[in-house]
């Protein structure tokens, strides 16, 4: 199984930004965790990040016919990027949306995800472990 993990804006600043919300672990820590946990589950994983909406869309497009699943943390694009939603719908790859914080317990505008309807499910509020849960969910989806 091949999974593409896409991280959106500001995820590269983990460990620096708002530690009370996102914790003190770095982006490198996140990438290492995902790679290690994917390896344990016999999942081939590619991890990418961009602060640019169009690059995230290009990553999604590039996944077509190359990946079995997508795990995406669209960052703030979650709340207004219909272009990312359209890209996810277009490639028809099972997608899981992940958020490090509980988006429903924060600012009101963060509780609405316009990208979520393109996903099989959402994991929110479990810190970096949410990515591990998403890997497990990918295995579950593949077994169906």
pLDDT tens-digit profile, the chain (144 residues): 999 999 999 999 999 987 777 778 999 999 999 999 999 999 999 999 999 999 999 999 999 999 999 999 999 899 889 999 999 999 999 999 999 988 876 667 566 789 999 999 999 999 999 999 999 999 999 876
Alpha carbon distance, N-terminus to C-terminus of the chain: 14
Q: How far apart are CA 97 and CA 115, in angstroms?
A: 8
What pLDDT, on the 0 to 100 scale, is given for residue 143? 74
The question of whether 22 is a catalytic residue gets the answer yes
Predicted confidence at residue 105, as pLDDT, reads 62
**114-129 tens-digit pLDDT:** 999 999 999 999 999 9
Question: Catalytic one among 22, 67, 77, 85?
Answer: 22
Which entry of 67, 85, 99, 131 is annotated as an active-site residue?
99
Q: Is 140 a catalytic residue?
A: no
What are the structural domains, with CATH classification, of the chain?
A: 2-143 (3.40.50.9100)
Is the pTM higher than 0.85? The answer reads: yes
For residue 141, the surrounding DSSP H or E stretch is: helix 129-143
Rg of the Cα trace of the chain?
14
């Amino acid at each position: 199984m091949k999974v593409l993990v896409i991280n959106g804006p500001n995820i590269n600043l983990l460990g620096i930004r708002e530690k009370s919300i996102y914790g003190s672990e770095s982006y490198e820590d996140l990438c290492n965790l995902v790679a290690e946990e994917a390896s344990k589950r016999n999942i081939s994983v590619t991890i990418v990040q961009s602060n640019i909406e169009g690059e995230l869309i290009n990553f999604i497009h590039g996944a077509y016919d190359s990946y079995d699943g997508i795990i995406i943390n669209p960052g703030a694009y979650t709340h207004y990027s219909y272009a990312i939603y359209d890209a996810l719908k277009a490639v028809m790859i099972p997608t899981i949306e992940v958020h490090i914080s509980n988006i429903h317990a924060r600012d009101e505008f963060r509780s609405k995800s316009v990208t979520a309807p393109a996903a099989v499910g959402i994991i929110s509020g479990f810190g970096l472990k949410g990515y591990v849960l998403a890997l497990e969910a990918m295995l579950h989806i593949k077994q169906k």
